[in-house]
Amino acid sequence: MLFNSEQFLIFFPIVTFLFFLCPQRFKWLWLLLVSYYFYMSWNPSYAILILISTIITYYSGIFIGRMNESSYPTKLRERWKRIFVAISFISNLSILFFFKYFHFIDDSIKEFTALIGFEWHKSEFNILLPVGISFYTFQALSYTMDIYRDKLKPEKHFGIYALFVSFFPQLVAGPIERSSNLLPQFREIKKFDYERIKSGLLLMLWGFFQKVVIADRLAVLVNTVYNNPSEYEGVQFIVATIFFSFQILCDFSGYSDIAIGAAKVLGYDLMKNFDRPYFSKSLREFWRRWHISLSTWFRDYLYIPLGGSRVGTLKMYRNLAIVFVVSGLWHGANWTFVIWGALHGAYLIFEEITKPAADKVYRLMNIEPLGFSYRLIHGLKTFALVCFAWIFFRANTVNDAFYIIDHLFVQNWSKLFNKQLFSLGLDEMDFQMAILSILILLTVHWIQRKRNIREWLQGQWLPVRWVFYLGLVLFVLIFGYYGGNEKAEFIYFQF
């Protein structure tokens, strides 16, 4: 069930209405049932996987928790803890690898063996990737790790723990929640809170705006170009890549906002997942603002265990490289994602290497790091680098990506002005609407630097608020790009 489907429009109000009617002690059960229903609406058999993952991590947590409180000698205790963590990690990651990376590994072996003159017979298994498996697996593993580190007491109530893994707003595409944030909320008393519901609905509406008005509209042009790269060159690639950078932001940030808003309506606070990433002045800052729940997950559960930045410089670079290659692989079973991750790792390492020298130059030239021109130039530089990396992320194959890069700077700027851009799937009015909606997005992000628009709205006169709400709802309904036979899925569902 997609957030942008008719089913969800019916599902969510019913769930919310009955949630508030439900006695407090059964609220968790209601949410658990509807979360499983939500997940099973894709494919009922996938529920078995999420249940297996839940059972393994639940019992691992219980056993590790017992070890934490046991009077065993430290060495023995740590050994048993490690065994349970290993069981949890190996079993969960095995499921993830099997369903997500089996074909990727199989294909890669075939290509490699072909290079050295051997023939590898590909498997005939038909494995479908379960929706959101990377998200709930990581969420469940973070729970195991938090208990292992003794930062969290294990959740004894299996139902509440199962709800933590499967909570429907963030089940299939995050934010990847921390147990310390979400689990306690399921035990809190949730009452009908008008202001909170209003705020949640407004956030959902903003999410729909990003998804339906911007992302799905931009997707048309991006798909046209990226699915047939040999037919295009130069400015067409540049426009398609810039459009993709906003498409993926709006697609994923839109999903996150709908998820956070939906949870807020029900009374739960989820973590922020995006914080105006295209206003970043460096790659390091970009990763503090982009897919925050995943970046912090990798920081806490991979980068820091590897030694983080407390090790020598070279080891720190190695750690960065590992984190970003794994992050790339997490996004998808394709070499394009691996290269995308590696490229970001390289950007960050380069940024770290050159940072002292660059700072020195700025000091010598008396450039104010908080000044407008500094922020603008570094903002544009960061955006350009991110866009360049998106080419690998979006291209269907590595060859396509290199073809696009090879033809990226072909001089055909005339196509920007002679209406040929309107033959890339978006007609002139849709193209103008795409630009206008991107400008609206950037303006909102600009205002949000200093002011929370939702809070500002709450303080306005009722007619102003109503005009704003009505205008936004109608804007999404009228100017949204939808209505085809197939619903536009969220890009991050495939991860």
Partner 1 sequence: MEAMRKLSLYIFSSKILSVGGFCLLFFICLNGYQLLSYKYDNIQKRWDYFYELPPKSLDILILGNSHAYSSYSPDIIDAICGTNSFVLASNSQLIEQTYFNLIEALKSQNPKIVIIQLSSLTGNSWKNREGDFRVYSNLDGMNYSLNKLNAILGQRDRKDYVNSMFSIFRNHDNWKNSELLASNLSRAEEVDKEDYRGFSVRKSEMGKKVAEQYELENKDDLSGFDISKSDENYLKKLHLLSENKDFKIVYVMSPKYSDLLNKTYQNKYETIKKVASRYGEEYLDFNVLSNEVGLKNRSFENGYIHNQHTSYYGAVQISSFLARHLENKYIQRKFLNQTSYWNTRMSKKKELYLYGSNTIVKPNPVIKLGTNLNLSKNIAAQNVFLIKEKDSVYRLILKFGPRVDVDSISDYKCYVHLFPKDSDKNISEKRKKYGFENFDFKLRTFPTEDGGFYVDRTIKTHIKAVEKLNLGLIKSKIDRSSQITITDFSLQ
Closest CB to partner 1 among residues 163, 424:
424
CB of 197 to partner 1, least distance (A): 10
Cα gap 326→302, rounded to integer Å: 9
Cα gap 471→468, rounded to integer Å: 5
Closest CB to partner 1 among residues 218, 329:
218
Identity of residue 67: M
Closest CB to partner 1 among residues 415, 465:
465
Q: What is the DSSP string of 391-418?
A: HHHHSSSHHHHHHHHHTTT-S-GGGGTS
Q: Is the dihedral of CA 477, 482, 487, 489 positive or negative?
A: negative
CB of 474 to partner 1, least distance (A): 6
Give the up-direction half-sphere exposure of residue 352: CA atoms within 13 A in the CB hemisphere.
Answer: 17
CB of 220 to partner 1, least distance (A): 12
Q: What is the DSSP string of 120-146?
A: -PPP----PPPTTHHHHHHHHHHHHHH
Output the CA angle 99-104-106, nearest 5 degrees: 100
CB of 470 to partner 1, least distance (A): 6
Is 234 in contact with 408 (CB distance < 8 Å)? yes
Closest CB to partner 1 among residues 77, 487:
487
CB of 208 to partner 1, least distance (A): 13
Is 421 in contact with 360 (CB distance < 8 Å)? no
Non-local CB neighbours of 67 within 8 Å, separated by 6+ positions: 77, 80, 81, 84
Q: Provide the 8-state DSSP code for 493.
A: G
Closest CB to partner 1 among residues 9, 377:
9
Closest CB to partner 1 among residues 356, 484:
484
What residues make contact with partner 1 under the rule CB under 8 A? 6, 9-10, 194, 427, 429-430, 462, 466, 469-470, 473-474, 477-480, 482-483
Q: Which residues are catalytic?
A: 331
Is 426 in contact with 223 (CB distance < 8 Å)? no
CB of 90 to partner 1, least distance (A): 41
Closest CB to partner 1 among residues 367, 467:
467
CB of 3 to partner 1, least distance (A): 14
Non-local CB neighbours of 449 within 8 Å, separated by 6+ positions: 276, 279
Is 476 in contact with 205 (CB distance < 8 Å)? yes
